[in-house]
Amino acid sequence: MPRTHTRRFPKPIHHDGRDYLTTEQVARFLGVKVATVYAYVSRGRMTSIRIDGVDGSVFAVEEVEAVAAGRPRRAPAGVVERIRTRLTLLQDDRLYYRGHDVVALARDHSFEEVANLLWDTDGQWPSAAVDASTTAVIREAGGPAARGLDLIRLSVDVLGARDTRRHRRDLPTVAATASRVITACVDVLGDGTGQPGTIAERLWPCLTDDPPSPQKIALLDAALVLLADHDLSAGAVAARVAASARGSIYAVLGAGLGAFDGPVHGGATTLARRFLVASLDDPAGAVAEHLYLGAEIPGTGHVVYRHRDPRAEHLVNVLTDADGGDPRVLPALEEIRAQLPEATFVNSDLVLAAVALRYRMRSDAAETIFALARMVGWTAHALEEYDERHLRFRPEGVYTGVRPATR
């Protein structure tokens, strides 16, 4: 009868050199010293495991043979390639794009200029990217309940299906396509007429009836720049996996959007907005209640930053200088910051939610802004990944199911 093994490491079927080798056996087989075998393990070239009834480490024969033959092997379970990137650096609670401080970029450069920096190109962004009939198809497919993120995902799919050059992976084509897709998404979110202007200028009326001003557009532009990339977040990893399989830029963006569409990534801005809405009348009380209940306060803390989120800090400064909007939002945000425990801080999710709430934007505006911005980063990651060995993200799984019967 098949048995289920609960040991951490599987017991070999026949430990006689046919499925596992000891360290000494590996050394003899490869013609190297035992110390060299240990060096292979430390460098990630080989994987050692321990099993019941056997002293010391053992190695799978298939892996040892692959090393001897010089063949690339599958990564061990839970391990993926070390992803080397020239795009984004997170260091000492600061964020850099290609060596440039993101706060300085958000202060002095437009979203389009920063996108070109990340893509390493100087291409021109289109003034219009989708016709009225295509917009109608996408909007009809989304239906009346479609979120902005839904319309963005549909736009990527429809435009990809209609692009006969979608599988080209050269930098000029990928960059031009990505800029066209992002522009088209903005058009679909609006009235579909493709009004002239920058992405921020065209996006503002898609999100709110609040009249634009130079300060408000600068605020939205800064938000797009600050959120364009963030190293290997879930969406970036998903995008790289798609690019590693040589998916088109549409497939890459679709993969990134799929990972983005969840409560702990893109949806975190929506949760932050709900908290902020509920906190407007009594922000100190809202924080105190969450702390009393032991509940996490949405839009605070971060898995990477330790003391501050530089994106949030800069966005607060720009929001403070901006004009108009709901006068309750900024004081509420400041009170929330003041009431937080010393060890935590507000992150970009909560401040982006504050931007959307202050200017009476649609309820999913923060998530929509975030998605459009991050499409730039996913494109940059795809351009890097297209130059890497294909299908490199293929780790070996840890099988925990029923073992086959043995004779």
pLDDT digits (tens, 9 = 90+) for 191-206: 666 677 999 999 999 9
CA nearest neighbour of 16 among 49, 48, 61: 61
Residue 14 — pLDDT band, cuts 50, 70, 90?
A: very low
Q: Look-up: residue for tokens 């780790």?
A: 395
Structure tokens at 88: 């984004």
Identify the pLDDT of residue 194: 61
150 pLDDT above the threshold of 80: yes
On average, the pLDDT of the chain sits at: 89
pLDDT mean over 362-381? 97
Greater pLDDT, 82 or 60: 60
Identify the pLDDT of residue 112: 97
Identify the pLDDT of residue 16: 46
pTM for this predicted structure: 0.82
Identify the pLDDT of residue 348: 97
Phi-psi region of 163 (alpha: psi -120 to 50; beta: other; left: phi over 0): beta
Domains, in order of start, for the chain: 1-80 (1.10.1660.10), 82-391 (1.10.580.10)
Sequence-distant (6+) residues with CB within 8 A of 202 are 183, 186, 187, 190, 195, 196
pLDDT mean over 316-329? 95
Compute the distance between CA of residue 368 and CA of residue 366 in angstroms, rounded to an integer: 5
Q: What is the pLDDT of residues 242-266, one digit of tens each?
A: 999 999 999 999 999 999 998 989 9
DSSP code, position 122: -
Q: Convert 85-122 to b/e letters by CB count within 10 Å (16 or more is b).
A: eebbbeeeeebbbeebebbebbeebbbbebbbbbbebe
Structure tokens at 215: 């300060």
